[in-house]
Amino acid sequence: MASASRSLRLAGRFTAVPRPFALRTATASVSQRAAFTVSARRFKLGVVRETEVPVTVYNPDSKGAPGSSPEHFTISAQPSRPVEPVVEEVEEVQPLSDEVYAQMPRTLQKMSVKGKVIIITGGARGLGNNMARACAEAGAKAIAIFDANQELGDESAAELHQKSGLPVSFFKVDVRDGSAINAAVQNVVDLYGAPDVLVNSAGIADSNIKAENYDHQMFRRLIDINLTGSFLMSQSVGRAMMAAGKPGSIILVASMSGSIVNYPQEQSCYNASKAGVIQFGKSLAAEWAKHGIRVNCISPGYMDTALNRVPALDAQKKIWTERTPQDRLGAVDDLNGLCVFLASDASGYMTGSNVIIDGGYTLY
Ligand SMILES: NC(=O)c1ccc[n+]([C@@H]2O[C@H](COP(=O)([O-])OP(=O)(O)OC[C@H]3O[C@@H](n4cnc5c(N)ncnc54)[C@H](O)[C@@H]3O)[C@@H](O)[C@H]2O)c1
């Protein structure tokens, strides 16, 4: 879409020091002190609150060889004011070139989706659109967007093609329409070859409807889109993978609402639909492992997408944010890394998982 943009949130960091290294250093000094204590009580009393943590960093020299002299410095351990995240508009989509891929270490090559044909439902906007861009940057051979919104779908496919130079197609498909899905998947096979990956992000949400007032037709419609749609898409793409004798990865976008009950809004139908998606994904993973097809779910928490940008939710969004340890809603590109990982061969032994990405919301 013309106005589509990704926001890259760079979490504020108080130092350029690799965090695990700093943690290791701090841990080591605590355990050295513990070795000189004689009782648990004495140990407790003896804890030294460091104001500065000494750090030693070993860097390669300018030619990339292991450097000889380590760098020593200290970092402040005083609580600092939280740094406001920097929000940067990122318009470019930079596809992974053959030259760059060839130079990547094996581990990173495995974490790419180099040469893969990827179908993404709900890719016209929101989380699906951002995951489509991420797949383009991570090496996809071709991307097919399936979405019920003709105008946005056309715009987003044109934009992704123009920015990445990759083959991108848009299919106006309602994920409730089995025949249309089958025809579209066959067309993808004809155009680019059998799909390697399905990302099923199409979905709708109804919230703030009490169960006692829920219109049964609305209930059926939501289940039909979120759950039956996940089934119809997976069946069609799975059959194409099996017919081609190709291993594949199916990624179903569920929700944390499939595992917890949201507060304060009542949304029994949405929650039930996503719980269904998670259990469907697990069942499919077990059934299709023998075909080399992996099935995993991504379960986002509250994300800052159009789905939630409705004035009626403003007051509730404050409550959602307060209950999220990271103190923010998820950014529209916060699922990208996991999506690429699950699509890639790096997650080859992972199937039937449900990965929650929620800024910590479900911890409480
Ligand atoms: N935004 C959140 O807070 C959040 C949280 C958890 C899970 N999710 C899930 O993530 C997925 C994407 O959400 P989003 O926030 O990007 O939503 P969105 O509304 O921005 O995008 C959803 C896309 O799906 C398409 N779509 C809807 N119904 C369809 C149908 N019947 N057939 C084909 N396409 C259809 C829409 O046209 C739209 O392009 C959904 O499954 C949603 O339930 C979202």
Q: Which of 112, 169, 249, 255 is catalytic?
A: 255
Name the closest-CA residue to atom 36, ligand 1.
122
- Region of 170 please: left (phi>0), alpha (psi -120 to 50) or beta: beta
Handedness of CA 17, 96, 237, 154 (dihedral sign): positive
Residue pair 310/344 in contact (Cβ under 8 Å)? The answer is: no
Spatial contact of 181 and 146, defined as CB atoms under 8 Å apart? yes
Mutate to test the pocket of ligand 1, among 147, 234, 260, 358 (most ligand atoms within 8 A of CB): 147
Q: Please name the residue whose Cα sits nearest to atom 11 of ligand 1.
A: 201
Residue among 238, 231, 246 at smallest CA distance from 281? 231
- Confirm whether 259 is a catalytic residue: no
Asked whether the beta carbons of 127 and 305 are under 8 A apart, the reply is: yes
The two three-digit tokens of residue 129, written as one number: 């659109």
Give pLDDT, residue 12: 28
**Residue closest to 184 by CA, chosen among 211, 202, 166, 164:** 202
DSSP structure class, residue 23 = H
What pLDDT, on a 0 to 100 scale, did the predictor assign at position 79?
53
Single-letter residue type at 101: Y
Which atom of ligand 1 lies nearest, measured to the CA of 257?
6
Q: Residues enclosing ligand 1, CB less than 6 A?
A: 121-122, 124-128, 147-149, 152, 174-176, 201-205, 225, 229, 253, 255, 300, 302-303, 305-308
- State the Cα–Cα distance between residues 36 and 28, nearest whole angstrom: 13
H-run or E-run covering 7: strand 6-10
Tokens of 236: 């069609």
Domains of the chain: 1-91 (no CATH), 92-363 (3.40.50.720)
Mean pLDDT by 10 residues, the chain (364 residues): 34 29 32 29 45 72 69 69 43 92 98 98 98 98 98 97 96 98 98 98 95 97 98 98 98 98 97 98 98 99 90 91 98 98 98 98 97
- At residue 59, the pLDDT reads 73
Q: Whose CA is nearest to atom 41 of ligand 1?
A: 203
Closest CA to 204 of 305, 282, 78: 305
Distance 299 CA to ligand 1 centre (A): 13
What's the sign of the alpha-carbon dihedral 134, 135, 140, 146? negative
Active site residue 283: no
Return all residues near 160 (Cβ < 8 A) that are at least 6 apart. 93, 132, 133, 136, 143, 145, 166, 168
Q: Given ligand 1 and candidates 6, 125, 127, which is best to mutate, with the most ligand atoms within 8 Å of its CB?
A: 127
Q: In the chain, how many H helices and how many E strands?
A: 12, 11
DSSP state string for 100-163: HHHHS-HHHHHTS-TT-EEEEETTTSHHHHHHHHHHHHTT-SEEEEEES-HHHHHHHHHHHHHH
Taking CA atoms only, the protein residue closest to ligand 1 atom 40 is 203
Q: Whose C-alpha lies nearest to ligand 1, atom 21?
A: 126
Q: Which of 230, 249, 274, 302 is catalytic?
A: 274
**Which numbered atom of ligand 1 lies nearest the CA of 173?**
33
Active-site residue, 230 included? no
149 CA closest ligand 1 atom index? 37
Say how far apart CA 331 and CA 247 lie, in whole Å: 31
